[in-house]
Amino acid sequence: MILVHHLRVGRSVFTVWLLEELGLDYELKLYDRLDTGRAPPSLKDAHPLGKSPVIEIDIAGERLTLAESGAIASVLVEHFDPAHVFAPPRSDEAAFAKWTNWLHYPEGSGVLPLIFKLLTSRAGEPVNPIVDAFTQGELDLHLGYLNDILSAQNYVCGDIFQAPDVGVTFLAQMAMGLELLADYPGIASYLQKNMSRPAFSRAVEKTGG
């Protein structure tokens, strides 16, 4: 049985979403945030970093604890998607390389400007102009990049929903929460389309967001 450690309200809902898309059985262990917004200390019992998502899963006879969203997604599709619905076969080397690039984009270069924007918006005082200029420049760069792609095709890897779209939807939802999508209709449309998927709705209902 797959055990998911989920911190409300947090990004691990996207891991649960992928599990729902794959139709897998799993168990949820839910954690509530402290008044400060931080994770409770009990989450460190699951993983030393005390962050979420964390899953416990049996692979090749060994019980593994995984704590990186991209790695979790990669392992899930490798072991539980034999029909290659959510990932191309490795034999299609070009498609698999493109898929891998997008799988790691959300928690690689894609999320950094959004984190900077989130932190500076909570600072409660004037932002250093150098930090502000860097943040805005990176937001313009990445949101423009995504908007161009998602205005030209349905999903990040083409016209079929695949595992990388789970992570990119996380970015899009974060951008929406920061009120950044007014000038990026391609991303906004993509986000609404993905949030309307039944598996996403089930994940939100089961986790509480």
Determine the CATH number of domain 2-82.
Answer: 3.40.30.10
- Judged by DSSP in three states, 63 sits in strand
- Any residues with CB less than 8 A from the CB of 198 and at least 6 apart, and which? none
**At CA 164, angle to CA 161 and CA 106, rounded to 5?**
140
**pLDDT by 10s per residue, the chain, length 209:** 899 999 887 788 999 999 999 999 999 999 988 888 788 899 899 899 988 999 999 999 999 999 999 999 999 999 999 999 999 999 999 999 999 999 999 999 999 999 999 988 876 677 788 888 999 999 999 999 999 999 999 999 999 999 999 999 999 999 999 999 999 999 999 999 999 999 999 999 999 86
Please state the pTM of the whole predicted model.
Answer: 0.93
Residues of the chain with CATH 3.40.30.10: 2-82
Q: Is the dihedral of CA 26, 28, 29, 34 positive or negative?
A: positive
1.25.40.340, 1.10.10.10, 1.20.1050.10, 3.40.50.2300: which CATH number matches 93-198?
Answer: 1.20.1050.10
**At CA 162, angle to CA 19 and CA 70, rounded to 5?**
65
